[in-house]
Amino acid sequence: MTTQTVDLIVIGAGPSGAACARTAAKAGLAVALVDKQRFPRDKLCGGGLTGRAVRHYARIFDRALPDIPLTCRDRFRFFAFGEDLGGGEKAPPIHLIMRRDFDATLVADALSAGAGDFTGRTGRLDPAGPAVDLPGVRLTAPLIVAADGVNSPIARLLFGAAFDRERIGFALEVEQPGNAADVPLRIDFGAADWGYGWQFPKTGGTTVGVGGIMARNADMKAALRGYLESLGIADGLPVKGQFLPFGDFRKTPGAGRILLAGDAAGLVDPITGEGIGHALHSGELAGLAVVRALSSGQPDKALAHYRQSLRPLHTGLRQARVLRQLMFRERLRPAFISGFRRSRSLRREYLRLLAGETEYGEIMRAMALRMPGFAWRALRGG
């Protein structure tokens, strides 16, 4: 076995890993991009690119949008526990993509920036190195970024578990083949317990799924069947499932000289389910933290730099977890349904949130103005 030494090993070539590898390679670092899969490959995901995700993508990958089939939607319809809450027209748009196409372009762009291609190989991490043993080669580097997904073997190695089973989410999804009709995006709060359903029409098919806190959904398959039936979609389509961090992020995203990014760090919005934008951003921040630490000759400082740069994102996820109480806690739910149905401006703020044009602090202020006092006091813990 030969040994190859680089500045950074990135494990996982999804959005966070590709963003990290490209960021570090553009800064002049020698980067090895490792993934057990060859690209393109399929990936369970609603495939929504919010305005936030598009801005991160443009900054990291130096072009406005990827050159793949895209569907742009600016019409939405909301439901909660079977009740129509209204919709929005000419809302801030969301671009819908197929992850198979999107992720392949990210990997290609990371490699074009100079990252070494070690995809399609299964490796073993040696945290003491740190190093990664692949067939025929041992990669060594002063720093590793693990972007290996919600089931992260590296997080399991570092912390004993990839996630907290009491707080993790789980989603099931089907793809309806064929180009979708020009219909609004649909979001159904409560299609799963402490979760939601989605119907995302896009070029090449329609993604339909349900997701919620796993501990509260003993039979997610039944929730999916019920949701498909409510939409008039015949059962029998192939079903894919995946865990979702749902805001259960790691306060310290790594250990020693190993950093965690994207789903491996738990960076998924617990209300909207947005993961791609956070993955791109966290991958970029991890890459910048590595560049900063190595340029100063202090690789042990990379984790501290990274954790500090993630603070605004962590704050937003904490605020989202607070608001999730209002949406799904049974005694507070009526206030949410009433306020969301009656207030066009509140729906508009939520659409702006989906599009990445506002943050949870603004949503909390908007809700404080429109919610009954008892619900807001309960939400605040008073």
> What's the CA gap between 352 and 214, in Å, rounded?
28
| Residue 88 included in any domain | no
R_g of the chain computed on alpha carbons: 21
| Residue 147 included in any domain | yes
Q: Which of 284, 314, 344 is the last residue of a domain?
A: 314
Number of domains in the chain: 3
Its domain, for residue 187, covers 169-244
pLDDT of 343? 79
CA angle 93, 95, 98 (to 5 degrees): 160
pLDDT classification of 382: cutoffs 50, 70, 90: very low
| Residue 82 included in any domain | no
Tally the residues of the chain: 382
Mean pLDDT of 142-146: 98
pLDDT of 373? 56
Q: Strands 48-49, 94-96: parallel, antiparallel or unpaired by DSSP?
A: antiparallel
Do 50 and 354 form a contact (C-beta atoms < 8 A)?
A: yes
The pTM of this model reads 0.91
| Residue 257 included in any domain | yes
Do 69 and 98 form a contact (C-beta atoms < 8 A)?
A: yes
Do 302 and 259 form a contact (C-beta atoms < 8 A)?
A: yes
Q: List the one residue out of 239, 220, 247 whose CA is nearest residue 325.
A: 247
Phi and psi torsions of 187, nearest 5°: -130, 125
Q: Which of 215, 244, 273 is the last residue of a domain?
A: 244
Phi and psi torsions of 107, nearest 5°: -60, -45
H or E stretch covering 363: helix 360-370
pLDDT of 154? 95
Q: Is the domain of 215 the same as that of 283?
A: no
Please check the confidence at residue 380 and state whether its pLDDT lies above 80.
no
Stronger pLDDT, 202 or 307, i.e. the higher one? 307
Q: Strands 169-177, 205-213: parallel, antiparallel or unpaired by DSSP?
A: antiparallel
Helix, strand, or coil (residue 333): helix
Going 205 to 185 to 242 to 20, the CA torsion angle's sign is positive
Phi-psi region of 290 (alpha: psi -120 to 50; beta: other; left: phi over 0): alpha
| Residue 323 included in any domain | no
pLDDT in tens, 267-324: 998 887 889 999 999 999 999 999 999 999 999 999 999 999 999 999 999 988 888 8
